[in-house]
Structure 1
Amino acid sequence: RSACYGYQHGSRRYPAHTCISVNEEVVHGIPSFRRVLREGDIVSLDLVVWHDGYIGDNAFTVPVRPISPAVEKLLRVTSEALGIGIRAAQIGNRVGDISSAVQAYVEANGFSVVRDMVGHGVGVSMHEPPEIPNFGKRGTGDKIKPGMTLAIEPMVNLGGYKTKTLSDGWTIVTADGTPSAHFEHTVLTTERGPEILTFPRAATAPAAT
């Protein structure tokens, strides 16, 4: 079942089961039947579910094609930044190693990482320590130990990194109105390396013959 519906932040409760954010909406967009998607839009879906007493957190951004080359690059770089961040989640590293790796790759490609929202630990609650920013310095932050479950989630803007909150109290948008992309996996840290818990098992299965 959804862990989003009814989630409380301050005095407000999130009113939907899935966060759906379009174009300049970074995260926590509220879905509506009144909103019509058009060519050139990008749509971020953030799915948080309870399963056997634990929470999994997963997000991805999809295009309504055709989209511009700049936005195509934004999606690709954000997805690749997630992979780079996951690979940095090695036992003995620190959270700052994840943060620094994501930031360096994103900024080298001409984009900005959001600084107001961060990744986080996840398990029996949606948000647990440690916080995992998408910017930072190598060798800083909590040490990564076996058995940690981490929601690593680059949120990347085409323009500047600043954001603001809309009047609904939930939807975070880019301050300059440029598009934003969001990719996220829940990762288990192990001695064998990071294991992606939210990756579809079917995607790695051999094709039927």
Structure 2
Amino acid sequence: MPAGTMRRSAQRTRERILQAAMLHFSQHSYEATRLRDIAAAVGVDVALVHRTFGSKEELFASTLEAAFDRRFEEALEAPDMAARLSAGFFETRLDPELGLVDPFDIVVRSLGSEQASPMLRDFVRRRYLTPLAEKLGSARPERIALILSCLGGLAIFYDILSVQALDEGGRDDLEGLLAQVIRHCQCAGDATGTAQPQSRSLS
């Protein structure tokens, strides 16, 4: 087989492993996700998963990066950031036929894992906290954390607790309510609307 063909085949296999890993890590905790199950879903030997990604930790880190499909960054550049963030959150939950995996699902499933938590903290800081802080500029860091807490908390209520009240709401209503919450958190003023010039570090 020509070298170019072999490289393309290896790349396709790598992508298939990543897709299977995203699905498994979004549905199960880090500890409950087994490389053998991921390999079986792709139809390859588990040794190939190890050769391609190394350890389970390395596959998990690669999975987080692959699941982050730039929708969050694109939302930050949208004219109405709050509306775009809200719409993006509900796309994978109320339109499951899209076949998307939200990285928040992967984060939520493995929050309690001692092995995964350092990777999760680094991922959330790099992919969410820092870009959002750069976008909002003078906004106080607690407001930035609140926006992400709202998104993460909703992910828990949807994906882990399956709170019925959220399923009963229409998509437009839910999107609008979440967008309002995000807009309020964006405000750099205090509760009276007075601007707060000082800012504090997120770290």
Class of the TM-score when normalised by the shorter of the 2 chains? under 0.3
TM-score, normalised on structure 1? 0.24
Higher strand proportion (structure 1 or 2):
1
Rg larger in structure: 2
TM-score, normalised on structure 2? 0.24
Higher helix proportion (structure 1 or 2):
2
